[in-house]
Structures are given as structure tokens and as C-alpha cells.
């Protein structure tokens, strides 16, 4: 019987393997049929902020996010950083 690898076998990943030779993040991606080549985002600091805005603004942000290939939350973060001059 073959031994399981101790580190993730996905490209450029050095996390510990937990199942089928993959780390938790890559294993979940594989189960969901997603690419293993995309980078894994680092864990957040657990802080969240809730922003309320008009529906039209949300749609404009979503359009920009799609055009840039970013998530809506990443686009909102960038917009806030630009607004706050960070």
C-alpha cells in the first residue's frame, strides 16, 4: 500500500496534506470541480465590515469586479482604499 504524501501535491503549495494528497483548501476545490492552479488566498484576520449602499452602486461595483476578474468584496476594498487615500 502506498504511503500518503505529507505535503500538498497541488502546484506551488507547501501546506500539509490531509486527504488524497491535498491540503484542506485544495481538497475542497477538487471536490467542487475547481482548478487547483489558482492561488489560495491567505486567511483573513477575522474582521468584517458591513457596507450598505444603493442597488445601482452595487451593480456598478459588480460590473467593475467582473471586468477586472475580481470578487465583489475585493472591488469594494479597493474602492474604499482609493476613497480613503490608503
Residue 26's closest CA among 46, 5, 45? 5
DSSP 37: S
Under a CB-based contact definition with an 8 Å cutoff, are residues 27 and 20 in contact?
Answer: yes
Could you tell me the residue ranges of all domains in the chain? 1-41, 55-84
The three grid cell numbers given for residue 5, joined into one nine-digit string: 504524501
Condensed to tens digits (0 to 9), the pLDDT of residues 9-27 reads 998 888 899 989 999 999 9
Please write the tens of the pLDDT for every residue from 51-61: 788 889 989 98
Q: How far is residue 68 CA from its own chain's centroid?
A: 15
Q: What pLDDT, in 10s, does the model give residues 48-84?
A: 777 788 889 989 989 999 999 998 888 888 888 898 8
- Average of per-residue pLDDT values in the chain: 85
Amino acid at each position: 500500500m502506498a504511503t500518503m504524501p505529507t505535503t500538498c501535491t497541488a502546484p506551488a503549495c507547501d501546506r500539509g496534506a490531509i486527504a488524497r494528497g491535498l491540503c484542506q483548501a485544495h481538497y475542497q476545490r477538487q471536490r467542487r470541480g475547481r482548478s487547483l492552479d489558482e492561488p489560495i488566498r491567505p486567511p483573513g484576520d477575522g474582521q468584517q465590515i458591513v457596507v450598505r449602499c444603493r442597488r445601482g452602486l452595487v451593480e456598478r461595483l459588480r460590473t467593475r469586479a467582473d471586468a477586472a476578474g475580481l470578487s465583489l468584496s475585493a472591488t469594494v476594498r479597493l474602492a474604499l482604499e482609493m476613497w480613503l487615500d490608503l
